[in-house]
Structure 1
């Protein structure tokens, strides 16, 4: 069975070598494999790294993505793909050597429309900030019930998975990725699959090592953009994809409205109580990760990273609601 691996890339020189090495180490037959790196015109040497691997492995190809956005890259790759099964990968990840074979097996056995694995989020380096960011992105307090981030024990039907495995025919059935969605294109695409009666499964025995952002500024920008595009996804699908998406925006509204009302009324005590409860939970989850973080600086930073994730996502969501109402442009610049 022919597999087509589609991987959007843009200025990934620090990650692309490890990603490709994990791909060429797969136990799937190489004569039934094509790997399509779709590049947004990288300027940091990423293309040179890919070309070196192309000279060694003829099943690797480099395609151009002049639009420089992820959904366009995915669509270019899908349209060029020759395989009957398509994998959508990310260059910031390292894949286990049985990644392709196991997911293909489950795609067939479960008669699924998309299957994916668990993300084990790793720090880019060993600084307090990077370690705390990686921990926040795999914490239930930071991510809610995002199962592919926090992990599960058994195969589970879910609303989305990272770096999925699809039959190519699904794109004929539900369409390609929506290029209006610079962020959340996977959520919207998976939402269309479910809307058409399809099934998506998370496979816990498949664990991907994923490298998180390396600065708080990038994390804030990323979650702001995730929140920003979520209302547009809901409009396109005509329903919310999850309940958890509402908690950050309600938190932000509570901060704004509650803060304003508490100035003039006795609600100040309730406001302080709710904020105090939030910070108690944030510090509790930080302290519960002491063994994982293994450094005091990271533990101290973690509650504040939780707060920034929730506020940036919630604020982005609020801005997104107004953009939908007033039909404003959703154009943003990706931070990666």
Structure 2
């Protein structure tokens, strides 16, 4: 390994009932080629075997400082803030329990921080299916495609090192939180969106490092996909209660799309003038859905993916938009 820094990195992992993934996550971080690290797991009182798995791994790796702290409120930003306050490192990594990390993830990101190219660095997220089923594979593909997730470059396997508006599993210079403050505990979701916008406002530089890779295990069924993205869309809107700038334009595109579907359908019933452009735009969206679903199925040489891809695109967009509409009703 190229010697990057002797400074310590504190890795913070919020958990709640993560027995399915936590062992893979921890092992990938323990095996990372950056040696000076501590792992702080902030657990929301898990009721499964999460804590037992962590204790076993901790006992098997007594050369690494692994701490576990209870998060009685069970809220992610609260867990992150607990971890940041407990951290003794010069750098802080926000990690996800559903994810594993390439061996060079930490060292590649810290190298850019040490070169003062940025204040926050993070790698690509390669989305993995949660199960070996056509639906799970389709969901993983949708969450990696620009038509599914828009302009989130860290999700779409961008190969260019560049400044971006957000990264997942970022490694932060510790002074970032001294300047910008901690995560807003009121935001049960989307706290990372608000934080990144706050950081950019005060001039912090966020860099995508493609050679650093993480592997995220996605939801494996339509019901979980719908619920997760409904809540994401809901909290994009609810977050405006707690922050003036808690989202960017791309985060409200699904809201605009679903409002277009609802209002356009109603208006088309009563007006032929509106009906024609409405159907043209809707047909174009359906065409794009079919085109990208077919393209991905051909690329994977698996035509069983076509219909699951199609439904996954629709569920992703509509659930997020419906969540945002529900958020509007709640704040009005």
Name the TM-score class by shorter chain: over 0.9
Tell me what 1:329 maps to. Answer: none
2:9 and 2:92 in contact (8 A); partners too: yes
Q: 2:206 matched to 1:200?
A: yes
Q: 2:294 matched to 1:287?
A: yes
Match of 1:47 among 39, 47, 51: 51
Match of 2:270 among 260, 264, 269: 264
Tell me what 1:129 maps to. Answer: 135
Using the TM superposition, give the Cα deviation of residue 56 of structure 1 relative to its aligned residue in structure 2, in angstroms: 2.0
| CA distance, structure 2, for counterparts of residue 297 and residue 182 of structure 1 | 36
Tell me what 1:216 maps to. Answer: 222
Tell me what 1:311 maps to. Answer: 318
| More off after superposition, 160-169 vs 235-244 | 235-244
Show the 5 A alignment for 1:1-336. 1-29=7-35, 32-58=36-62, 59-234=65-240, 236-239=242-245, 241-266=247-272, 267-325=274-332
Structure 1 runs (4+) greater than 4 angstroms displaced: 234-237
| CA distance, structure 2, for counterparts of residue 34 and residue 166 of structure 1 | 15
1:19 and 1:92 in contact (8 A); partners too: yes
2:297 and 2:304 in contact (8 A); partners too: no
Point out where structure 2 has 5 or more consecutive residues left out of the alignment: 1-6
CA gap 1:71/1:239 in 2 versus in 1, 3 angstroms? closer
Tell me, what secondary structure is at the counterpart of 1:272?
helix
| More off after superposition, 274-283 vs 130-139 | 274-283
Tell me, what secondary structure is at the counterpart of 1:260?
helix
1:164-184 CA distances to partner (integer Å, 9 max, x unpaired)? 101111111111111111111
Using the TM superposition, give the Cα deviation of residue 239 of structure 1 relative to its aligned residue in structure 2, in angstroms: 3.8
Using the TM superposition, give the Cα deviation of residue 161 of structure 1 relative to its aligned residue in structure 2, in angstroms: 0.5
Using the TM superposition, give the Cα deviation of residue 246 of structure 1 relative to its aligned residue in structure 2, in angstroms: 2.7
1:130-155 CA distances to partner (integer Å, 9 max, x unpaired)? 00100000011111111011121211
| CA distance, structure 2, for counterparts of residue 160 and residue 323 of structure 1 | 27
Task: Give the TM-score taking structure 1 as reference length.
Answer: 0.92
| CA distance, structure 1, for counterparts of residue 300 and residue 235 of structure 2 | 31
Using the TM superposition, give the Cα deviation of residue 237 of structure 1 relative to its aligned residue in structure 2, in angstroms: 4.8
| More off after superposition, 86-95 vs 111-120 | 111-120
User: Cα RMSD (Å) of the superposition?
Assistant: 1.5
2:12 and 2:95 in contact (8 A); partners too: yes
| CA distance, structure 2, for counterparts of residue 5 and residue 274 of structure 1 | 46
| More off after superposition, 307-316 vs 46-55 | 307-316
2:119 and 2:206 in contact (8 A); partners too: yes
Using the TM superposition, give the Cα deviation of residue 250 of structure 1 relative to its aligned residue in structure 2, in angstroms: 1.1
